[in-house]
Structure 1
Amino acid sequence: MRRSLALNGALLPVTLVLAGCGLQPLYGGGAGSVAARGLSQIEVGPIAGEAGWLVANSLRDRLGAGGTAASPRYRLDVRLDDQLEGLGLRGDDSIGRERRTLRARYQLVDLASDEIVIDATAGSDAGIDVVSSEYAVIAAERTALERLSTEVADQIVTRVALTLREGR
């Protein structure tokens, strides 16, 4: 009992400090929040390639209405740069490690005025060990691409949600 009171007494100042710092939840209000309503009004334009298919699906999953709004207010245009490069040479001059980099340049376009609301980039990279099994290396490269696609989509949606919440 005494420990519980001490813990509550210690947490009260922390709670008051956090309440006064101006932090607000991005999706405060749930599906009715400004950010969630804005995200559901975005359609995702076509994105070329396998990485494009993965990023587009990840974006649609995160946009609330599946990225196919009935009457979209915005369009999200994305161009990807997917690079796979060899690093670290072994004694026999074979590659021992690879780095996969996925970069996205994206624009959020207001369809009513054709104004570009956001013009930004997102990206991530992953390291891949090159082992003796070619199948294992291909599987690792594929897994890295899937993970990078998810990370890039998360970065894009977060930036777009913040911008829409600010009322731009």
Structure 2
Amino acid sequence: MKRIAALILLAGTMPLLGGCGLHPLYAAGDRGPVAQTLGTVEIGPIAGKNGWLVRTALEDRLGKAGQSRYRLDVELDDQILGVGVRTDNTVTRERRTLRARYKLVDIEAGTVLLDATAGSDAGIDVVTSEYAVLAAEQSALERLSGEVADQIVARVALYASHLKTAAR
């Protein structure tokens, strides 16, 4: 009896969900307006090894669909801090933090359309093997680069969806 009541309630609320404003961000796949806009974003140079990792991750996620209309300028802040310290002042745990400040610029007009930040952090155990610690720091940087790129692309895609909605 409870299941039937739940199904009736669910069926009654289904028509209301269409009016809630939710819509798929990547509707129509690669040919959709958001994907087409993301394909026109070029990525400015980003300094350093961490910059190369973030830039590569962004290129993988944005794709290229034509002539560049927008430019994405990214500045990174990469820090490793010792957070677990023993009484003899040896570090037992590190936190690697990667933060990005990015701007979406309209190339023709030269105006900044979007100015935002993204960031993530990861914990790293410090062990007796220096090689293991360096490998863990590198692995953390690779993961963080992907996470930051995901955040940037999601925010730019959201902005692109608002552009297309406003153009209608």
Query: TM-score scaled to structure 2, two decimals?
Result: 0.88
Q: Matched residue of 1:112: which SS? A: coil
1:90 equivalent to 2:86? Answer yes
Give the Cα separation in 1 of the matches to 2:63 and 2:13.
33
Cα shift at 1:112: 1.0
Cα shift at 1:135: 1.4
Q: Matched residue of 2:30: which SS? A: helix
1:158 equivalent to 2:154? Answer yes
Q: Which amino acid aligns with 2:26?
A: Y
Task: Summarize deviations over 1:105-156 as a string: whole Å, max 9, x none.
Answer: 1111111111111111111111111111111111111111011101110111
Q: Work out whether residues 82 and 95 of structure 2, in 8 Å CA contact, stay in contact via their aligned partners in 1.
A: yes
Task: Summarize deviations over 1:20-74 as a string: whole Å, max 9, x none.
Answer: 3111111112112211010000111110001100000000001122xxx652001
Give the Cα separation in 1 of the matches to 2:91 and 2:20.
50
Q: Which residue of structure 2 aligns with residue 34 of structure 1?
A: 33
Q: Which residue of structure 1 aligns with residue 140 of structure 2?
A: 144
Following TM superposition, the consecutive aligned residue runs of length 4 or more in structure 1 with deviations greater than 2 angstroms are 4-20
Q: Matched residue of 1:20: which SS? A: coil
Identity of aligned residues (%): 58
Correspondence 1:96-115 to 2 at 5 A: 96-115=92-111
Q: Number of matched residues? A: 164
Q: Which amino acid aligns with 1:31?
A: D
The 1:17–1:139 alpha-carbon spacing in structure 2 relative to 1, beyond 3 Å, is farther
Q: Which residue of structure 2 aligns with residue 15 of structure 1?
A: 14
Tell me, which stretches of 5 or more residues in structure 1 are unaligned?
A: none
Q: Which residue of structure 1 aligns with residue 44 of structure 2?
A: 45
The 1:13–1:90 alpha-carbon spacing in structure 2 relative to 1, beyond 3 Å, is farther
Give the Cα separation in 1 of the matches to 2:120 and 2:136.
16
CA RMSD of aligned residues (A): 2.0
Give the Cα separation in 2 of the matches to 1:56 and 1:145.
13
Q: Work out whether residues 39 and 66 of structure 2, in 8 Å CA contact, stay in contact via their aligned partners in 1.
A: no
The 1:128–1:13 alpha-carbon spacing in structure 2 relative to 1, beyond 3 Å, is farther
Query: TM-score scaled to structure 1, two decimals?
Result: 0.88
